[in-house]
Structure 1
Amino acid sequence: MPRLALVSIGIRRDLLAPLRYISKFELLHFYRRSVYGDLTVEDLDATLRAYSSPLDLYQQLVRAKPAVIQGVEPFSYYTQPYLWACYCAARKTDAALLVATLENRPLEVKFGNARAFVLRKFLSWYFQRACLILVLNQGARENVLACGGETVQVQSAMWGVWGVDIQEFFPRVARDPNMPPTILFAGRLHPEKGVFVLLDAFAAVHARLPHARLVLVGEGPARNLLEQKIRQQNLALAITLTGVIKHREMVNLFHQADVFCAPSITTRQWAEQVGAAALQAMACGIPIVSTRSGAIPEYIPDGAAGILVEEQNAPALADALLNLLTNPQRASEMGQRGRAYACLHYDAHANVQRGETLVLEHCVKRNAHRL
């Protein structure tokens, strides 16, 4: 069985757990750190290898002698030393080089012309030596092609972000009739995640539905200011900030929610790349209210599984939330369609199997690397 080395900077449970479905390769997963602290002892297994530096990564990869090496996200200056370590190890061991990327911001916009030019020059060379490039959204595909990635070796696949475990994330049996109308947000408490727009939208929702509740899951740099604004708007009794919740416990919060809201905002540096929490909500049969930031329209069918509104538009966000909170029949039907769509497109088990087949065909059977 060929050995596959996956290299990550950070790991978290929703991205780590589906790796147990890999069956066509002997897996080794190299990582720098656990970024969310949501892993328990039972989540860690013998496939994991921590590394401390690019040199340490290179040395461990060479000792492992994998058939395929997947490097880290390429469209980042921070990751370049680790990317170089992956390339050098692939050359040393004659391993095939695999690329996976979800970065969807145009390089000139994110980095400026000069830095984008330098990054593109290096990545053009790097991509030409890859056996396969897997992209998770259209923006990532455009970035790859702008760096000279050959069309024939670029494939769309949920690889790295695998989707959702549809057995672990499932619809609730019935709604608790005593539960107040509840909106759920899960993500970084950061302006680019739209938390302040959501707060303004919820104020309008609460004015119409005084018993409505908002649950904010996560931590981030905006927490203190968010708490201050919540107090200023006299919404402290209606809004709960839970802090970080372990991934395996999120299904309970989805079962207590009527709507999941992801009001992401595109910035120069960032746009939504997949939206893993929204996929989990869909798998739980919860309708989505979100924006058209980045790849969100690629993953959430507007009008079927959710309602998409323009970014930074609190009145439109409030209208969409009220539309679903006051129309439980529509919300239920939308949630059912979302569950069906998630099972068809975002089943992590199926996505791992599809991705494995691609990697096996392009990187092992064809021995397509050009180092």
Structure 2
Amino acid sequence: MKEIRIASFRPGVIANGTAFEAQALIYKYLQKKYGWKFVIFKDERDKFVDEELETVTIPFKSRKTFPRTPIPRNLYLFNKYIVQQLKDFDFILSCDPTIYQQGVHAAYVAKKWNIPLAFDASLTIMGEGRSLSWKLQKPFAKWALQYSQIIWITVPKTAERFRDIGLSSESISSQFVVLGHPVDTEKFYPAEKRNSNSTKTIICVARLVMEKGVHYIIQAAAPLIKNNKNILLKIVGRGEAKSFLERLVKEEGIEENVQFIDPVPHSQLPDLYRQADIFIGHPVSISSWEEFFGVVNVEAMACGLPVITSRTGGIPYLIREKDVAIFVEERDIIGITKALETLLYNQDLYEQLRINGRKYVQNYYSLPVIAEKYRKYIEAVLEMRGKK
């Protein structure tokens, strides 16, 4: 069997420390186990490095478009760096063309060279669904989607978003395949020994922006910390709301028990989780955004941490079995406090969630489970197209 060469065309939509790193786990797994070859296409502005994956850097000018359209400004550069460089691949992967013009470019090349194409999509709402800009882009997105063979979606609610924007025809809907982000459970695993000291550490890993709801976590944890100085809250992340959050901590008088930690490389997250006792996140929906997956939840569960999270966006599908995590309604400060209190002082429930959570991730989101499903669908398309 010849080597399968797959291009992941994502210039401008790729960076370390994003959900793409979870997707890259699939690529590396299939390279190692089956000898497939993945090549990542980025442009000179993208900050992505992975020594296990080959990357090709194209000029940004080669994909620059006229306003509100995916039509390239410079057809010569577009042909030289995109059309010609993608022509010899067996399969092309790209990003959601309803959001990114790069997806339309990938569809153009795939159709020109008769190469199978798959998109990945994750957004569960689209704030600009009725804007003039979207109305101009919609025909291009529809054309691209109708050419592709697979549309990977992280949760079923993503498919509902396609319906909301008028792109749920039978030909498009038939391509949807639910595929969450994988977790490498050989790296994200529980600590060998539980923390024996008296301090209980609660950890939150999130961008420090208002929609991540970290301010609700601080307000909910404050009364517990005031009553028990052996509780430590670690907040890992950066963002525009950091100064507001620091002020809130100071106003609550809990500075000694709250640590703000800068983001760490993804490879260092397991150690942070293993040093903690409870994971908490509380994203909230706004008019233009909601949490569409929340991979940090399942990464923490894989490390044996009981998880408290909000019932919003795609999370209720991400965690879809009972007794594996605790859900709290959005912005329910009292509910968050009660959930934290339960895990801090109910040892039986704590142990139950700790064990059940990791088993759940192993069954649904471990790297082999997700990557093998990915492989099965790509191979089916290649066989149908006579390319394998």
TM-score (norm 2): 0.85
Once the two structures are TM-superposed, the CA of residue 281 in structure 1 deviates from its matched residue by 0.5
- Are residues 1:346 and 2:346 paired? no
Amino acid at match of 1:112: R
Between the two proteins, what is the percent identity of the paired residues? 21
Once the two structures are TM-superposed, the CA of residue 345 in structure 1 deviates from its matched residue by 0.6
Once the two structures are TM-superposed, the CA of residue 113 in structure 1 deviates from its matched residue by 5.2
Once the two structures are TM-superposed, the CA of residue 289 in structure 1 deviates from its matched residue by 0.4
125, 139, 143: which is aligned to 1:121? 139
1:301–1:57 CA distance, 2 compared to 1 (3 A):
farther
1:261–1:57 CA distance, 2 compared to 1 (3 A):
farther
- Are residues 1:72 and 2:71 paired? no
* Residue of structure 1 equivalent to 2:380: 361
How far does the alpha carbon of each residue in 1:299-329 deviate from its partner, in whole angstroms, 9 at most, with x for none?
1246411110110111111111111111122
Bigger mean CA offset, 48-57 vs 5-14? 48-57
* Residue of structure 2 equivalent to 1:52: 59
The correspondence of residues 1-371 of structure 1 with structure 2, limited to 5 A, is 1-8=3-10, 9-12=13-16, 13-22=21-30, 23=34, 25-32=36-43, 43-53=50-60, 54-55=62-63, 59-60=81-82, 62-64=84-86, 65-76=88-99, 79-80=100-101, 82-105=102-125, 107=126, 109-112=127-130, 114-145=132-163, 146-149=166-169, 150=171, 151-158=173-180, 161=181, 163-301=182-320, 303-362=322-381, 364-367=382-385
Amino acid at match of 2:139: K
| Structure 2 gap ranges (5+) | 64-76
Q: Is this contact kept in 2: 1:24–1:356, CA < 8 A?
A: no
How far does the alpha carbon of each residue in 1:345-370 deviate from its partner, in whole angstroms, 9 at most, with x for none?
111133112112102212x112299x
How far does the alpha carbon of each residue in 1:9-40 deviate from its partner, in whole angstroms, 9 at most, with x for none?
11324443442111363211113479787x5x
SS at match of 1:122: helix
SS at match of 1:224: helix
Bigger mean CA offset, 175-184 vs 143-152? 143-152
Once the two structures are TM-superposed, the CA of residue 60 in structure 1 deviates from its matched residue by 4.0
| Structure 1 gap ranges (5+) | none
* Distance (Å, rounded) in 1 between the aligned partners of 2:47 and 2:352: 33
* Distance (Å, rounded) in 2 between the aligned partners of 1:331 and 1:35: 41
* Distance (Å, rounded) in 2 between the aligned partners of 1:296 and 1:339: 16
* Distance (Å, rounded) in 2 between the aligned partners of 1:214 and 1:260: 10
* Distance (Å, rounded) in 2 between the aligned partners of 1:33 and 1:314: 44
SS at match of 2:276: coil
How far does the alpha carbon of each residue in 1:221-269 deviate from its partner, in whole angstroms, 9 at most, with x for none?
1111111221121111100111111111111111121111110001111
Once the two structures are TM-superposed, the CA of residue 194 in structure 1 deviates from its matched residue by 0.6
SS at match of 2:148: coil
1:265–1:170 CA distance, 2 compared to 1 (3 A):
same
Aligned residues: 356
Q: Is this contact kept in 1: 2:97–2:144, CA < 8 A?
A: no
Amino acid at match of 2:14: G
Q: Is this contact kept in 2: 1:110–1:268, CA < 8 A?
A: no
Q: Which has the higher contact order (CA 8 A, sep 6+)?
A: 1
TM-score (norm 1): 0.88
* Distance (Å, rounded) in 1 between the aligned partners of 2:275 and 2:302: 14
Once the two structures are TM-superposed, the CA of residue 119 in structure 1 deviates from its matched residue by 4.2
1:57–1:307 CA distance, 2 compared to 1 (3 A):
farther
Once the two structures are TM-superposed, the CA of residue 51 in structure 1 deviates from its matched residue by 3.0
